[in-house]
Structure 1
Amino acid sequence: MTPSPLLLELTARVKAKAHTSPFSPCPCPAGTLADRPDATVVRHADTVAKAHAPQTAPADLLPRLTTATRHPDLLLPPLIPTPVPLHGRLVTFWPYGTPVDPDDPDAAPWEEAATLLARLHRTPVQAPGLPPMRGPAKAAHAVARLRAAGPHPATAPVLRAWSTLPAWARAEAPMPDTSTLCHGDLHLGQLVRHPAPDGPWRLIDVDDLGVGVPAWDLARPAAWYACGLLPPDEWTRFLHAYRTAGGPAVPAEGDPWPSLDVPARALTVQTAARAVTKAVAQERPLDEVEQALADACARMGSVPPGLAPGSGK
């Protein structure tokens, strides 16, 4: 497949950023890390360039970059503080960090991720104009794509589970928390070691960063645990580390689920919607993990969310 003009020029830009003389051959590590409609990411040596989604607004991205610049102990800071336009996209430049090894689950940094989240949630919002975190909007987008994907047996239970959620979790009303700094899309792929290869862990990907309900940042591991996809000991380690670090999303003691229930349900629906949409496009049945998510949505549809703080009920 011929690389797109965006990918070709982005590759040239990141090489130019990494070297004084970008046209000389070099043995540096380089390559395309992602090439999707919503993000194209390339690396050359210790520099990474990212072309953000076409609809990304400069007024939203700039305060997110400013936040990362001001908190380099939590978030990987950009190499330059402002985005650069390229082929109708906004491009940002970052230092390369070592990602989590997906082939070594025993070394997954659950405690480090939870501690970073707790510290992020306790950090005062300083960047003027920081928008709401995009978690609910991304879930709503996944559901919209599911509705347009075509018939599938799992579609109805996923949509039924979605319909039980409060309006804020479906991005149909403002979030009940507008002052807490949130990542917006937390999973282990959003952590890197910097400086590479074994520096401290930092959070990456500021596209969804903003103010909102902090429990959303715990919702993906909580949903995986509830669906049987995350072992109980790993969930316990994550939750304990978050509480030990003073994270405000859940009570310091006792049952965390009144706070986590709605966000965890929303993340379950989002993940199931993406899985079913992909299965429809590939004309195949759901695999075991995808079916577990669809089954969880079927159970959720028959049991409405609990009366949790900020649930909108």
Structure 2
Amino acid sequence: MSDSPARQPLIRELGALAHRLHHPPGIPRATPCACAPPQLLADRPDGTVVRSGPVVAKAHAADIDRLALAARLALASAPQLAGILLAPLTSPGPVDTAGPAPRPVTFWPYGTPVDPKAPDAAPWADAAILLARLHRTVSPLPFPPPPMRGPVKAARAVARMAAALPGDGAVLPVQAAWHALPAWARGEAAPPAARSGFLCHGDLHLGQLVRHPAPDGPWLLIDVDDAGQGDPAWDLARPAAWYAAGVLAPDDWLLFLDAYRSAGGPAVPATGDPWPQLDVPARALTVQTAAVALAKCAAEGREPDEMEQLMIDSCARIATFPPELADGCAS
């Protein structure tokens, strides 16, 4: 459970809601409940996630766009996305938490996450294939999907960094790299029309995959809070940024890229150099990762670790790109 006393009421409430969905009141049970105590899976400003047995309850951010959330839940529930996105347990229309700032709550089946202690077994190829299938799927919604929130999320990370380290010189290379990006990659304008009509996840990393049914079902993508219509290259951008910074091994990057191409993913050409399509999103994800790292370091009173420093150093290199190169990458 969370160490913060202020978070305990929300966590207890989520545990109770998840448990109640698993054991609805008024339905007699043959045996006494043997469920383990609720387990906190994640606790961030944009999402608190608690598990009770096979049910997971997620409290979304209080200021989330609820109409967009309902549309994203409808996408995850659509038969056309079965086998790609984990479907919620309840129909769109999340309940709210109690308290002065109610947060919408959605319910999901529990899935087995990627094991961070087994990097050699990381499902890079599975993630790539799921992305390719998602990107090739025509939206089943009877209305336009909401925009993919990747650029907006990057902008929030940069703002969070600036608020955590006001006047600190450590943020300058990250901010310089950020301002070198085109407006659409900063969430300030629409992406190029030719690249904006695809269903995207919006926040792809290995923490967004689970096996369902647990423990060894097929891999599925989870967390649709940022999903929507946009540039599919954004979903490849975090692995690309990690590879460019030296965080992701070349073999893992090539495995991911080759699997995506083999599955017919439209974000990059089937052959040849993928970087004309990936460069701007990868630079944006580099900035986002570095900004989050600096904000976390400020909050925890520590220096960046090796991986975080690699991303920060990458921002310093990005900030030195000549203007003509930055302009060319933005096209």
Deviation at 1:38, TM superposition (A): 1.4
Identify unmatched segments of 5+ residues in structure 1: none
Q: 1:85 aligns with which of 96, 114, 121?
A: 96
* 1:65 and 2:73 aligned: yes
User: Quick check: 2:35–2:52 contact (8 Å CA) kept in 1?
Assistant: no
Q: 1:283 aligns with which of 289, 301, 322?
A: 301
User: Residue type matched to 2:326 in 1?
Assistant: P
Q: Percent identity?
A: 59
User: Quick check: 1:261–1:305 contact (8 Å CA) kept in 2?
Assistant: no
Match of 1:146 in 2: 161
* 1:202 and 2:223 aligned: no
Whole-angstrom distance in 1 between the partners of 2:55 and 2:89: 9
Residues 65-116 of structure 1 deviation map (CA, whole Å, 9 limit, x = unaligned): 1111111210000011121122311110111100000000111001100000
TM-score (normalised: structure 2)? 0.90
Matches within 5 A, 1:253-268: 253-268=271-286
Match of 1:130 in 2: 145
Match of 1:13 in 2: 17
User: Residue type matched to 1:35 in 2?
Assistant: D
Q: How many residues align?
A: 310
Whole-angstrom distance in 1 between the partners of 2:237 and 2:84: 19
Matches within 5 A, 1:1-313: 1-2=4-5, 3-21=7-25, 25-28=33-36, 30-70=38-78, 71-82=81-92, 83-87=94-98, 88-127=102-141, 128-150=143-165, 151-176=167-192, 177-303=195-321, 304-305=325-326, 307-308=328-329, 311=330, 313=331
TM-score (normalised: structure 1)? 0.95
Whole-angstrom distance in 1 between the partners of 2:64 and 2:318: 33
Residues 116-167 of structure 1 deviation map (CA, whole Å, 9 limit, x = unaligned): 0000000001222421011000000011112222243421111111111000
Counterpart secondary structure, 1:302: coil
Identify unmatched segments of 5+ residues in structure 2: none
Structure 1 residues 142, 180: closer, same or farther in 2, change over 3 A? same
User: Quick check: 1:84–1:90 contact (8 Å CA) kept in 2?
Assistant: yes
Counterpart secondary structure, 2:319: helix
User: Residue type matched to 2:106 in 1?
Assistant: T
